[in-house]
Amino acid sequence: QVQLVESGGGLVQPGGSLRLSCAGSGQIFNNYVMGWYRQAPGKQRELVATITGGGITNSADSVKGRFSISRDNAENTMTLQIDSLKPDDTAVYYCNARWSIFNYWGQGTQVTVSS
């Protein structure tokens, strides 16, 4: 069973930066797509960014230019560098790894952007 653990969330002022990390245990092969999703209070969970084992990325329009996703396949590690944070970025951020019928989620890390 694959386990994913997020870290790096916290409280930050608008315009600040955070780096979120996802550490995986168990084998996550490079055919898995990994990504970050977020869920704000009262809203559906939404895509933030994804990255393939080969390093191909995509991201939501709302975060382009501010969020950068990266991945280390050998270490089962994924990061999300977040700059120029806005109050609308406030959410629980979840790490995800999926391929075909396999779909794993972390427990989430809270990001709060407030003055």
pLDDT (tens digit, 9 = 90+) per residue, 39-67? 999 999 999 999 999 999 999 999 999 99
Res. 28: pLDDT tops 90: no
Nearest residue to 36 via CA among 88, 84, 77? 77
Supply the pLDDT for residue 26: 83
- Residue 104 near residue 97 (C-beta atoms within 8 A): yes
